[in-house]
Amino acid sequence: MTVDREPEEQTAETVRQLQALATPEGAAALSRAAVLLDERVDAVAALSRLRAEFGAALAGPAWGIARQRQKARATFGADADRMLFTSDTLEQAGRPELAARRAVRLLAGGADSVADLGCAAGTDTIALARAGARVLAVDVDPVARELTALNVEALGVDDVWVVAGDAVELVAAARGGEVAGCGAAVLDPARRAGGKRQLDPDTWSPPWSTVVELLRKVPTSVVKVAPGLDHDRVPEGIESEWVSVGGSIVEALLWGPAVSETWRRATVFRDGVAHELTADSDPGHAEAGPVRGWLHEPDPAVIRSGLVSLVAADLGATLVDPTIAYLTSDAEADSPYVSSHRVDEVLPFNLKKLKALLRERGVGRVVVKKRGSAIEPESIAKQLRTDARGTATVVVTRVAGAPTALLCDVAT
């Protein structure tokens, strides 16, 4: 029988469970659950063993948290096995190495106290405290506050105060460049509701109006926003930064006026090294021109930040089409901001002709990439597959407005 609980009752129950897991017996149940998970014991058998050893009250929560820890390991490393996460807070958590980088930059001007406005499981709070700040960790959600308090304690982090509060009210009451008595702030609004991404910033929690108010009132602040945020929303004098890791955008940030250093920034992590491209004003569009010997795919952080023309200038490259973010140049590029492909053939996009060309070149397997085309890359790759041993990359795009296929990186 399932028991329907009021949300407040459910929250109070979750808080009690988290507190129970923080006792020595709870810790033992968590360790046992982790071993059972590593041994791939199925959930039913594992729960019945945990129940027999630790009782029904600890078994379910220990199993649930152990599963979140297992998921968290890839991102949080060794800390994951000491921290507690619910599935919601783990989903909302940023990467600790990026939180650490943000914290260092935010504190570089000398601020020593920071309000983390919406702390969730405490990723930013922990990074800020480790960077040397006194941190006021605020959340409306009692489960988030409990998680942050327990995680801070488990990791031995000092100088953190966890309090209940509404960021909307705190920001409305901000005075003299401070919020909640702190000289700096981090705001990471919840951008999901009911399991769905909220595309409209006015529906974030706290909403867009609080984001703008914080940036205006607390100059030493940073706000995490959705990477797809409409550029027009960014207030005057605020630096926007897009960060990518391994070719995917992982976060977008707006920096308060005291910590803004430029107009836009693309930060591209490659092999753990951060490469930063900045512009103090709009660099405009790159020129377009015919396809040459090399095709360059700008990193998504470079595209989102509108800085493709800077990379084009650096590489002596032009766009293949004024509306498409593919660059082309005579020479191979040695740049962290692009992935490059050698162009072997250029032909009007026609599947039959492409197939014939691949047969002729002995290519049986292709990776298909596209930009500015409605094709489905995986389906096209399947249709082009044969027994031939060669490999290649096929780029389907528009060149000077015309649907075009570029056969690249042929290896036989």
User: Which positions touch ligand SAM (CB under 6 A)?
Assistant: 92-94, 117-118, 120-121, 123-124, 138-141, 144, 166-168, 188, 190, 205-206
133 by Cβ neighbours in 10 Å (0-12 / 13-18 / 19+) ranks as: buried
Q: How far is the CB of 122 from ligand SAM (least distance, A)?
A: 7
Least Cα distance to 94 among 222, 263, 265 occurs for: 222
Q: How far is the CB of 245 from ligand SAM (least distance, A)?
A: 15
Retrieve residue 187's tokens: 């705001």
Contact 333, 313 (CB under 8 A): no
Quote the CA–CA distance of 36 and 50 in Å, as a whole number: 9
- Residue 138 or residue 291: which is nearer to ligand SAM going by CB? 138
Contact 125, 116 (CB under 8 A): yes
Instruction: Please name the helix (run of DSSP H) or strand (run of DSSP E) that holds residue 54, with its range, or none.
Output: helix 43-54
- Residue 81 or residue 88: which is nearer to ligand SAM going by CB? 88
Q: How far is the CB of 165 from ligand SAM (least distance, A)?
A: 6
Q: How far is the CB of 60 from ligand SAM (least distance, A)?
A: 23
- Which H, E and C letters describe 301-360, residue by residue? HHHHCCCHHHHHHHHCCEEEECCEEEEEECCCCCCCCEEEEEEEEEEECCHHHHHHHHHH
- Residue 118 or residue 201: which is nearer to ligand SAM going by CB? 118
- Residue 204 or residue 294: which is nearer to ligand SAM going by CB? 204
Q: How far is the CB of 7 from ligand SAM (least distance, A)?
A: 13
End-to-end alpha carbon distance in the chain: 62
How many residues does the structure list for the chain? 412
- Residue 68 or residue 92: which is nearer to ligand SAM going by CB? 92
| Strand order, beta sheet including 160-164 | 160-164, 134-139, 113-117, 184-187, 221-225, 248-255, 239-245, 264-270, 273-279
- Residue 170 or residue 325: which is nearer to ligand SAM going by CB? 170
Q: How far is the CB of 159 from ligand SAM (least distance, A)?
A: 18
CA torsion 197→201→204→207, rounded to 10°? 180
Nearest residue to the partner ligand SAM, using Cβ: 118
Retrieve residue 42's tokens: 């199925």
Q: How far is the CB of 123 from ligand SAM (least distance, A)?
A: 3
- Residue 41 or residue 140: which is nearer to ligand SAM going by CB? 140
- Residue 72 or residue 354: which is nearer to ligand SAM going by CB? 72
Q: How far is the CB of 152 from ligand SAM (least distance, A)?
A: 12
Report how far apart, in Å, the C-alpha atoms of 205 and of each of 17, 118, 167, 234, 389 are. 26, 9, 9, 18, 53
Query: What DSSP string runs through 71-114?
Result: HHHHHHGGGGGT----HHHHHH---HHHHHHHHHHHHTTS--EE
Q: How far is the CB of 212 from ligand SAM (least distance, A)?
A: 15
- Residue 52 or residue 199: which is nearer to ligand SAM going by CB? 199
- Residue 227 or residue 377: which is nearer to ligand SAM going by CB? 227
Q: How far is the CB of 171 from ligand SAM (least distance, A)?
A: 9
> Bridge-partner residues for 193, per DSSP?
196
Report how far apart, in Å, the C-alpha atoms of 351 and of each of 69, 368, 378 are. 47, 12, 14
The maximal CA–CA distance of the chain, rounded, in angstroms, is 72
